[in-house]
A and B are shown apart, each in its own frame.
Chain A
Amino acid sequence: MYVADSRGTPAPAEPQAAAPGTPPATAGGTHSPGRRAALAPTVLALGTVSLITDVSSEMVTAVLPLYLVAGLGLSPLGFGLLDGLYNGVSALVRLTGGHLGDRLGRHKALAGIGYGLSALCKPLLLLAHTLPAIGAVLALDRTGKGLRTAPRDALISLAAAPAERGRAFGVHRAMDTAGALIGPVLAFLILRGAADGYDAVFTVSACVAALGVLVLVLFVPGRRTTPATAAPVSLRGALGLLRVRDLRRTGLCALLLGLCTVSDAFVFLLLQRAAGIADRWFALLPLGTAAAFFLLALPLGRLADRAGRRTVFLGGHLALLAVYALLLTGAQHPVLPYAVLLLHGGFYAATDGVLMAEAAGAVPEEHRGGGLALVQTGQALARFAASLGFGAAWTLWGARPALAVAAVLLAAALAGCLWLRPAAAPQA
């Protein structure tokens, strides 16, 4: 395993973790017009890994319902229980991944294990023919996903210059989403060429996943993050992150706003009702959000570097509030679906990577993985609670009142987050 130099001095511009033989990119914190620092090769390599892995996993996701019903003749209705049950486990796994990466100083190894686990699941799908077995394989797949997320984001944040973090995360998220858009197309092309060829889809998906792991091993430098002299990273130190004021504020904001985020499934359902979208187009709605996310991730990441990450993060939730408002007006305008999907994708582009870029600035390097995992997990659990709450509100009052309440809460949370602004000016 390749080990890069550990950092000597805490310079504002971090040295690039470039492989020998590639010229180190200049990491400039200031922009002179017409000249931008090159993107760290590590970010591009991780983006490539994510793109390839997402092609692989979305191939499976796209054909899984069809495979269960048509291929295996199962009734998949009992599956929903797995989701709820697994959310808690997934949170623990994510925190573990982030913290272990810090503790061992090996984010790359942890990310590699996570990607490896998920890759291993693809051939396992060829062997699982019962609902419980398939459920177990999917749980393992998600364990891999949970394990790798924080170390991967830590690697991105460590590879990019602080002033360029928004852009780095933007590039990564755009590549990641591109994979999600390619996966289903590839899967259905295979099914078109080979009727009932689910095993071929899983085999190709396994090959693609293996390639992703290989790109990670070969092209992502495994720098040790902690200088050898530093005190070892302890769990107590990781818990001490909760005392870092800026991180606490960022996390609290993500948590508050997460509690008011209506889950995608509900947004698409409400959109279908509001705009009277035909059933045949329903399955394409998530692709609309993903396409907007893909297009906007990089521009909004750059904007976050310039205009302040908090501003863009809050602006993203403003876009979500606009989604709620549009759905509440229920205007049968032909533009409504496009506007909603564009804003919804914009919401993800302005919040997903941008939150990580913002949080990275508040966490010392030796705790980077654990700190990012803490923020991600808080947000994920809040969103899960929100979807349970929204489902209950829908039951009690019906769809529109529930959405109106969500909109009011989101507006209040946004106001609260504005009030929570850090005392120091945001670093530009």
Chain B
Amino acid sequence: MTLQRRILILFTAVLLLAGVGVSAVVRASSRAAEKDQARAGGPRVTPGEVSLAPGGGSRMVFRNMAWGPHRDELATVPADAPGGPRTASGVSCLRFHAAAGTGICLRADKGGVQESYRAVVLDAALKEVSTHPLAGIPTRARVSPGGRLAAWTVFVGGDSYAGTDFSTRTSLLDLRTGKLDASLEDFTVLKDGKEYRNADVNFWGVTFTADEKAFYATLATGGTTHLVRGDLAARTVTTLRENLECPSLSPDGTRLVFKKRVPGLPAEAPWRLYALDLASMRETPLAEERSVDDQVVWRDDRTLVYSLPGDFGADLYTLPADGSGAPVRLADSALAPAFLG
């Protein structure tokens, strides 16, 4: 084959492949633009004022995922009409939680070559109080019941070829002193009564106690997950139990709801929800038969709310905390709810 002919073949292929590539990008960007148009049949969203202040009626504040100009903004609905029209705030968050007039918002920063993320503390009027750069992709966020502490978890991707070695990093922030613990891995781990150290330790999914002196979280090491109870003053975490992820403490502090890997389930959907009574350490399976990958929120001492993947973003479901009943869909295209009022 002559050189001219080979160059001709290469030139033709470059044109063809460039055409395929460009059309893929154009298609994806027009699809992205489509998501900025409100969908017929989707929830109605109008801009307005959203407040995290205590009082002001029982309401839910959450990340609105409905298509339209307010996609990914914090929005609010009355607690008794969760599927109804939404009021959007103009503040965008990927993950969100709030309590006692304080919010934590994990958001993506557009700009720069790489995706970067920040954790932003919000006051009751959704104004930024402080901002903290994140090392990876946001997955969990919590504010303590009294609004004094915040915690968040990010995934930190590996940098090896094909980037498959992941770890998590969980940070704690004292909103009164401004003291930030960049990684829970600086706490002393007490496992089976002894100090435990391992390079593979990962923490995620913090939930705070009402007295704001302690927390529960997941500790993973050596291929097993553990429930740990953390002591903020002593800076220790103590393992309590195996195979327990993303605990969420009930408002009365007596029970944890968590996700657990159940043997025999498919690898891509391994979890089921359980409740754990902290006095008796007895587990109760909940009446949700799908695999839930979320940190559940307590609406009150009897009712849970959590998300499952839906057709247009995630959908919120509600379920009794005692194992009875059945899941009921609460709202479409919504994620990361906080119940206020």
Chain A residues packing against B (C-beta within 8 Å): 2, 19-22, 57, 60-62, 64-66, 69-70, 73-83, 130-132, 135, 138, 141-142, 145, 184-185, 188, 190-197, 199-200, 203-204, 207-208, 210-211, 214-215, 218-219, 264-265, 268, 278-280, 282-286, 391, 394-396, 398
Contact = CB atoms under 8 A, between A and B. Distances in A.
B25 A65 contact: no
A211 B133 CA distance: 38
B115 to A, nearest CB: 6
B137 A193 contact: no
Interface stretch (B73-81, B151-159, B250-258): B151-159
B139 interface: yes
B29 A193 contact: yes
Given A65-B163, A194-B31, A75 B137 contact: no
B32 A204 contact: no
A210 B21 contact: no
Contacts of B268: 74, 130-132
A283 B114 contact: yes
B185 to A, nearest CB: 11
B199 A394 contact: yes
B110 interface: yes
A265 B165 contact: yes
Residue in B6, B110, B199 whose Cβ sees the most chain A Cβ within 10 Å:
B199
A284 B27 CA distance: 30
A295 to B, nearest CB: 19
Nearest to B2: A21
A207 B165 contact: no
Nearest to A193: B29
A199 B24 contact: yes
A65 B166 contact: yes
The secondary-structure label for the interface of chain A is: helix
Q: Size band of the B side of the interface?
A: 35 or more
Interface stretch (B9-17, B52-60, B82-90, B228-236): B9-17
Given A211-B14, A280-B135, A82 B164 contact: yes
B262 interface: no
Given A214-B10, A280-B135, A184 B24 contact: no
B267 A73 contact: no
Contact of A131 (B20, B168, B267): B267
B13 A79 contact: no
12 contacts: A61-B163, A65-B163, A66-B157, A77-B167, A79-B166, A142-B162, A185-B113, A194-B32, A197-B28, A199-B24, A200-B27, A210-B13
A19 B98 CA distance: 68
Contacts of A80: 158, 164-166
Given A210-B13, A211-B17, A280-B116, 5 more contacts: A65-B157, A83-B165, A184-B113, A199-B24, A283-B157
